[in-house]
Each structure stands twice: as structure tokens, then as C-alpha cells.
Amino acid sequence: MAFPQTWEGVAVAGNPDDFGHIPVLLQRCVELLTPALTRLHPDGSEAVLVDATLGAGGHAERFLTELPGLRLIGLDRDPSALDIARDRLAPFGDRVTLVHTRYDGIEDALVESGYAASESVDAVLFDLGVSSMQLDRAERGFAYAQDAPLDMRMDPESPLTAADIVNTYDEAALAQILHRYGEERFARRIASHIVRQRARAPFTSTSELVELLYQAIPAPARRTGGHPAKRTFQALRIAVNDELDSLRGALPAALDAVRVAGRVAVMAYQSLEDRIVKRVFADAVASRTPVDLPVELPGRGPRFRSLTRGAERADAAEVERNPRSNAVRLRAVQRVEHDVEPQRQATGKGDA
């Protein structure tokens, strides 16, 4: 079942004085990741946290404030987000390294920052999806509630826009995107309407697409399940930014990056993301010993253990303060000790 789509693609007013962003599940993320970051020193000295989705830097600021010895590597594909985070995190000086990259660029970002690509950091945090800053800036084209160019790029330097998809992809490809990434049951109907409409004039704005969606989706369906544009806008955004394939590449890289006792936490806001996280984490905590063997083979035990029972949700108080947290699913794992191969027993013959 898909998660409630109450946030994806909906514009929410933000206060520029607080960076237009309220960190989701902030205290719980601190509780989950701090044990890994204070394993060597209580102040986080010698520990490294990778914030793979830095955004406005709300989570990062909290960790750097509470752990004055911590070093942070912040990644974001959005140059505007990096500029905001750079100003916000400036008081922490050289404890902060910012890298302009998608989150599946973790390995290269670590090497660029002077660390090994594997087993070199203590924790990795992901806060997936579109940020409130991006939604609040109408010119970015993420929100169907405001008229704007049909863009939806998280990185404005990326070549593909939502307008490119809507105006150039054939009907079958459009329907596939809407069905796969938006779980839109009227995907074929919408794709057909788009192709007919663009033959008269190409789509250039979000309002033009929203108007078409009102025409394409039957009236009874428009009256239930929220705004009729939400699934289409989610699907286009995911396709433009290659979000799911990026996540599939980023999670294994994050798991490889953490040291023994290191932790990885992921916040997902819709079911497509969370299914990927759930699948990757399930594989990480599973034994690699063949199921028909009665004992665990040395070196084949689980690489990680779960820190959350299933996916954790925000409580009612947080949802009231921050509606974005209503859809969040938080999962976290910890790297366990390496299995050690048993030493070959000396036979007394030919062994020193």
C-alpha cells in the first residue's frame, strides 16, 4: 500500500529566518546515531558523520552543536541548499566539508574529502525526498499549488527537466513513468491527454499541467485521495532527478562506508523509497550462511543488525508541529563485528 501522499509536491509556506525547514525526527536521529559518534570520545572527536542529504543543514547543525569534536561531510545535489547550509554551518569552521553531489556519489565524496571509500566514517544520515526549501521556491516547479516553469530539477545544472519529459516522451513511456513512480491508476489516460494537448502547444508551466490533470482524471476520483496532481508531480520529480536509482546506488555505498559499530539511518517519505530501504537493510541484516546448514558458517554471519523494529513514525505532537513528518518512515542499522575465520589448528607436523 502506498503511503499517504500529503507532502509530495505540495507547497508549504516557510519562514526565511529559519531557513524554511523544520528537521524531521531530529531527536530520534540524534538518539540513533550518537552512540556510533561517541564510541571513542564523548564529544565526538575522531568521529565522522556523513549527512548525505544536507538540505538546509538542520540535522547537521544539531549534531555539530551537541558533539563539539565531530567532523561532518555534507552532500547535496542542490547548489542553493549548499549555499544556505554553508552560511548556517559557518560557525563550525573546518569541522564541516560540503560536497556538491547526488547521494550515490558518497564514495567519491569521501575520497575527495580525504577518507577511504569503505569503513572510514561512523554514521550516515539520509533524509530523502524533496525539501521544504525546494517546494517553497515557486520557480523550481516542484509544487502544483503555485504556477511556475515545469522544471523540477534538484540540481539546476542537470540537463533533463519535467517539461522535457512531458513534451518529448512517447505515450507509453509517459504512462510507465506515471504508473511506476507515481502509482497513478489513471496513468494511461493522463499520458494520452498529454500527447494530444502537446500536439497543439508544448507544456511550459505547472499550471498548464495541473489544468490537464483535472480534465484527464474522472470527477469521482478527483473528489477522493487528495489533489489530483500529486501523483503525477511526484512521478515526474522522481524521473527528472533519477531518485530511485540514485538511492539504490547510495545505500550499499553508505553501508560499506561505515566502520564496525557505525550506523546508517534513512528517513523515507513515500512507499517507493521505503521499499528500497527495507530491501537493502533486510539483506544487510540477513545471515549469508546457506539456510539448510544447522550452524552459522564463520565469516558468513550478518554484516548489520537492525536498530529499529520495522519503520518508526513521527508521533502526533511532531506531526502537529511539522506536517511533513506525517509521511516519514525511519529505519536504521548498525554494523556488527567482523566474523573471524577460525585459526587453522596446528597439527604438530610441518607447523611452526
Which CATH number belongs to the domain containing residue 181 in this structure? Answer: 1.10.150.170
Whole-number pLDDT of residue 133: 55
One domain, residues 313 and 327: yes
Q: Establish whether 114 is an annotated binding residue.
A: no
Whole-number pLDDT of residue 220: 87
Identify whether 224 is part of a domain.
yes
pLDDT band (50, 70, 90) for residue 135: low
Q: Establish whether 193 is an annotated binding residue.
A: no
Q: Which of 241, 269, 303 is the last residue of a domain?
A: 241
Identify whether 350 is part of a domain.
no
Residue range 13-26: mean pLDDT, rounded: 61
Q: Establish whether 27 is an annotated binding residue.
A: no
Identify whether 61 is part of a domain.
yes
Q: Say whether pLDDT at 340 is over 80.
A: no
Whole-number pLDDT of residue 172: 98
Q: Say whether pLDDT at 344 is over 50.
A: no
Identify whether 271 is part of a domain.
yes
Q: Establish whether 83 is an annotated binding residue.
A: no
Identify whether 77 is part of a domain.
yes
Residue range 280-309: mean pLDDT, rounded: 83
Can you read off the three cell numbers belonging to residue 203? Answer: 507544456
One domain, residues 21 and 128: yes
Phi, psi of 272 (to 5 degrees): -65, -45
pTM confidence score: 0.86
Which of 43-52, 221-230, 285-294 shows the lowest per-residue confidence on average (mean pLDDT)? Answer: 285-294
One domain, residues 201 and 115: no
Residue range 204-227: mean pLDDT, rounded: 90
307 in Cβ contact with 32 (< 8 Å)? yes
One domain, residues 99 and 167: no
Q: Fill in the DSSP letter of residue 122.
A: E
One domain, residues 236 and 103: no
pLDDT band (50, 70, 90) for residue 87: very high
β-strand partners of 304: 335
Closest CA to 123 of 74, 56, 57: 74
226 in Cβ contact with 194 (< 8 Å)? no
Which of 129-133, 200-204, 332-336 shows the lowest per-residue confidence on average (mean pLDDT)? Answer: 129-133
* Angular region, 175: left φ>0, alpha ψ -120 to 50, beta rest: alpha
Q: Say whether pLDDT at 285 is over 50.
A: yes
Whole-number pLDDT of residue 10: 33
Structural domain count, the chain = 2
Q: Which amino acid is at 286?
A: A
Q: Establish whether 76 is an annotated binding residue.
A: yes
pLDDT band (50, 70, 90) for residue 129: confident
Whole-number pLDDT of residue 14: 40
Whole-number pLDDT of residue 20: 52
- State which residues form the domain around 182: 141-241
In percent, the amount of the chain with pLDDT more than 70 equals 84
Whole-number pLDDT of residue 224: 78
Helix extents (H) in 113-218: 132-136, 162-168, 171-182, 187-200, 206-216
Identify whether 351 is part of a domain.
no
Residue range 161-185: mean pLDDT, rounded: 97
Residue that wins the pLDDT comparison between 226 and 169: 169
Q: Establish whether 141 is an annotated binding residue.
A: no
Q: Say whether pLDDT at 9 is over 80.
A: no
Identify whether 212 is part of a domain.
yes
Whole-number pLDDT of residue 330: 98
One domain, residues 324 and 177: no
Q: Say whether pLDDT at 233 is over 90.
A: yes
Residue 231's CB is within 10 A of a number of other CB atoms, namely: 28
One domain, residues 196 and 110: no
Q: What average pLDDT does the chain have?
A: 87
- 199: CB partners within 8 A, 6+ apart: none
Whole-number pLDDT of residue 352: 35
One domain, residues 21 and 112: yes
Q: What is the CATH number of the domain that holds 99?
A: 3.40.50.150
Residue that wins the pLDDT comparison between 95 and 226: 95
One domain, residues 252 and 202: no
Whole-number pLDDT of residue 312: 97
Whole-number pLDDT of residue 264: 98
Q: Which of 210, 241, 272 is the last residue of a domain?
A: 241
Q: Establish whether 164 is an annotated binding residue.
A: no
Identify whether 125 is part of a domain.
yes
Closest CA to 275 of 331, 345, 341, 202: 331
Q: Say whether pLDDT at 296 is over 90.
A: no
One domain, residues 119 and 252: yes
Residue range 313-323: mean pLDDT, rounded: 93
One domain, residues 101 and 145: no
Whole-number pLDDT of residue 144: 72
One domain, residues 112 and 236: no
Q: Which of 224, 241, 258 is the last residue of a domain?
A: 241
